[in-house]
Structure 1
Amino acid sequence: MVLTAGRFAAFGPSHWAALGLFAAGCAGLVMLGRAQRAASEPGERVGAQARGFGKAYALAIVYVVIGTQVHTLLPGQWRIGGSLPLQLCDVAWLAAIGALWTLGPRGFALMYYWGLTLSLQGLLTPALNGTDYPDIDYLGFFGPHLMIVWAAVYLTWGLGMRPDWGGYRFAVAATAAWAVATFVFNLIADTNYGYLNDKPSTGSVLDLLGPWPWYVLAEIAIILLGWALITWPWTRLSRYPPASG
């Protein structure tokens, strides 16, 4: 039987299938990470098993992303408003590769804040204008998003890495740098990467935040406060050392 793709519908069967896969992957990666922690040598923050798996996971992200990214660059698919790797998700999967390869504090900080808030929001309210599964647009959206959020879950609740205020400041600075550069590019090229210059045509949580530029300012406030709120509890739990400690 040949599968044919219809139009994607938020919280339709294919969306729920992706969310179910997301939940199963989270559970499996948390158990795996904890087992790797238990197998580490005494006093060793990250053991050999975790380092090996992190590199393999990083290469898996490369494998998943290359196919979909190359597809967007083909002559029949290319468009300046959607083919360039300028979405925050594109930066996030690069950060995920670095975080998993090095298991370092700065890469983890980006995964914690980007993966557990912005990329997770993308999974819950996907701005997907393309066709449904098994179309390449569906796979190209959910594949990287799933692997980014899984990486954040694995590092945090699997390997036990923890955010701190230094990581918070680094993530805020990195996000601001991306936003300014992308906003300027959007103005020059008449594009809308990151939805910094206009809201997506499909329904999203941005519809609750008013018109431009108020929704952008509201996003900034929500991100600063929200990231602070998900940092503060970890810094209060002294039995968990900070990621950069």
Structure 2
Amino acid sequence: MDSPPLGRMTPYGLEHWCMLTLIVVASVALVLWARRTPGERVDRALRISGWLLLGNSVFWTAWGFMPWAWNIDESLPLHYSDALRFVLPVAMITQARWAIVVAYYWGLTLNLQSVLTPDVNYFVWVPLEFFQYWIAHGAGIVVPVVLVWGLGYRPTWRGFAVAYVITLGWAVMAFTGNLLTGANYGYLNRAPAGPSILDLLGPWPQYLLVEALLIAAVWALVMTWPWVLRDRRYGTALDGKHGLVRRAHPPHEGPGRSAAVESQASSST
């Protein structure tokens, strides 16, 4: 697809502010709902929503390979957001602990950049591309917020380490894909053509190392350590056999959560 864009989303224009407001309102409302609703109902709603989100993710990935939408620089599912489209449904459907920690770290950092500073061009059908962008990136915020602050899942140091290793693994895969195709997913193989925040981190490939260190520092000091201190203080129990998360049960639940969901989730860690 070589045709010029049909248009572009204006950062901090009306549509952007509307989506930011919707994400905040939805996050707060769903956290309150999850904390006040019986666990079985929450789990069922998560599963149904997860299957719907998964179906949409399959559709949108396939759409990118259609002749009218194909673009070597965008259609391959090598962005972190492309992977997150599938990690989120797995976390919602199975509550697999590895998926929960990846959704938490990716959704609230890597994905957050796309929410706060969107760079979106429309090529085929503006309404579809607009809503697909915000379904993916909005869910990347709302879902981990609900899982952590609504359902009480807390990352551990082991969960942090597993999420970071998965992140590096995905970067290696995307880097290899870029080498084979000449694309530049994640700006892993060269700097962006125009000015960007990466300019503050130095030239390529220096900024890759700086990025990796910054991500590790933020994930460890801001997104993991406070939960670890809190959980030690309150004696929050490990949840799942691999110790990737602890779980502080919502007020309406005791430790005796739905056995079926617990068994399914533990087998998926």
Judge same fold: TM > 0.5, yes or no: yes
Gaps in structure 2 of 5+ consecutive residues: 1-5, 240-244, 247-269
Gaps in structure 1 of 5+ consecutive residues: 40-46
Give the CA RMSD over aligned residues: 2.1
Question: What letter matches 1:213 in structure 2?
Answer: P
Tell me which protein shows more strand as a share of its residues. 2
Instruction: Report the identity percentage.
Output: 34
Conserved? CA contact 2:57–2:86, under 8 Å = no
Q: Structure 1 96/109 Cα, relative in aligned 2: closer, same or farther at 3 Å? A: same
Question: Partner of 1:98: helix, strand, or coil?
Answer: helix
Q: Deviations over 1:158-213 (max 9, x none)?
A: 11110101100100110011001110110121011122123445664323323211
What displacement does 1:130 show?
2.7
**Whole-angstrom CA distance in 1 between matches of 2:23 and 2:123:** 20
Question: What letter matches 1:144 in structure 2?
Answer: A
Question: What letter matches 2:78 in structure 1?
Answer: L
Question: Partner of 1:126: helix, strand, or coil?
Answer: coil
TM-score, normalised with respect to structure 1: 0.86
What displacement does 1:132 show?
11
Q: Deviations over 1:58-112 (max 9, x none)?
A: 1121243344333322112112221111111111121111111111321111011
What is the aligned length? 232
**Whole-angstrom CA distance in 1 between matches of 2:51 and 2:113:** 24
Q: Which residue of 2 aligns with 1:50?
A: 42
Q: Which residue of 2 aligns with 1:234?
A: 227
Question: Partner of 1:85: helix, strand, or coil?
Answer: coil
**Whole-angstrom CA distance in 1 between matches of 2:207 and 2:227:** 29
Q: Structure 1 215/137 Cα, relative in aligned 2: closer, same or farther at 3 Å? A: farther
Q: Which residue of 1 aligns with 2:250?
A: none
Conserved? CA contact 2:8–2:120, under 8 Å = no
What displacement does 1:16 show?
1.0
Conserved? CA contact 1:92–1:115, under 8 Å = yes
Q: Which residue of 2 aligns with 1:42?
A: none
Q: Does 1:208 align with 2:212?
A: no
TM-score, normalised with respect to structure 2: 0.79
**Whole-angstrom CA distance in 2 between matches of 1:9 and 1:216:** 28
What displacement does 1:214 show?
1.9
Question: Partner of 1:162: helix, strand, or coil?
Answer: strand
**Whole-angstrom CA distance in 2 between matches of 1:188 and 1:112:** 30
**Whole-angstrom CA distance in 2 between matches of 1:204 and 1:65:** 28
What displacement does 1:216 show?
1.2
Q: Structure 1 133/207 Cα, relative in aligned 2: closer, same or farther at 3 Å? A: farther
